[in-house]
Amino acid sequence: MSAPSERSERGGGFATTALFAFAAGLFGLVGGLPGFAGPAVGIGGVVVSSVWRGQRATRGGWRTAFSVAPALLAIAVLALTAPPVDAAELFGGLTGLSFLLWLADDPARASGGGRRAAPTIALAALAVGLAWAISLSLPTGSAEIGVAAGLLTAAILLLAILLGRPQALVTRTGPNA
């Protein structure tokens, strides 16, 4: 049995933070805010969240969970002000995905979280990519997109309610499965 390493295992998370800031900055650039306000909002949200996350206490609860709030607020502002163009849709989805990668690379947890969360994020990326490709290739008006978005939201919410007990998803059982 090998003894555990005594070194600090906290990862830096700089790469994923930079990626998230880059994606949020691009989303801000193609968004509807004037001048450089868009990138400033995006990058500012990422920086505030990263600093909050770095300084937070170790206990669970609201302090841990809500360190993501500034980044989410920035994404919401950028998404609501963005014009309905293909580039904004793409960078909106990419910003959401880079947020998940940033979330997985939590400095308070074991390093390499981003790498371990890659399969989960890849599936989400696949869904976003499919949705964007469909919206790009199919000529539709904004009303149809709205109806599709509503139906999609209803389906996902229904799925979330049905899976309110997430153990229903767990299929592997047995010792150390």
Partner 1 sequence: MNLDEPVPEPTPEPVRWTPRTYLLLGFGAGLAVLSVAVRNPVPLFAGLPFLLAPVLAGLRVPGGLAEVDLSWQSGGLSSEVVVTGVLRGRFGGASRDVGVVMPAVDGVTELAPIRYARGPTEVRFTLRWRLHEPSILTVPAPRVVLRDPLGLTERTLEGARPDLRLERYPPGLQRSASLRLQRTIPAPGESRSRTIGASGEFFGLRVAMPGEPPRRINWRASARAGRLLANDYQLERTGDLVVVLDVRPSEFGPEFDERILGVARAAVYGIAEAFLRNKVRIGFASFGEFVEAVPLSTGRVHRVRLLRAILASRRAEVAGPAERCALGLRRFYRPGVTVLVVSSWAGDPGFDLLPYIRRQGFPVVLLSPSPLPMRERTGGLDPADEPIAVRLERLERRVRLADLWVHGPVVDWDDYWTLEPLARVLRRPAYRRVS
Identify which of residues 10 and 14 has a Cβ nearer to partner 1 in the complex: 10
Judged on CB neighbours under 10 Å (0-12, 13-18, 19+), 47 is middle
d(CA 37, CA 25): 10
Identify which of residues 14 and 130 has a Cβ nearer to partner 1 in the complex: 130
Alpha carbon 15 to its chain centroid, in Å, reads 15
Q: How far is the CB of 140 from partner 1 (least distance, A)?
A: 9
110 forms beta bridges with: 10
Q: How far is the CB of 23 from partner 1 (least distance, A)?
A: 11
Q: What is the DSSP letter of 165?
A: S
Nearest Cα residue to 91 out of 126, 65, 128, 54: 128
Q: How far is the CB of 49 from partner 1 (least distance, A)?
A: 12
Q: Are 96 and 79 in contact (CB under 8 A)?
A: no
82 by DSSP, 3-state: which? Answer: coil
Identify which of residues 47 and 100 has a Cβ nearer to partner 1 in the complex: 100
Identify which of residues 35 and 166 has a Cβ nearer to partner 1 in the complex: 166
Q: How far is the CB of 145 from partner 1 (least distance, A)?
A: 5
Identify which of residues 137 and 173 has a Cβ nearer to partner 1 in the complex: 173
Q: How far is the CB of 133 from partner 1 (least distance, A)?
A: 12
d(CA 44, CA 54): 15
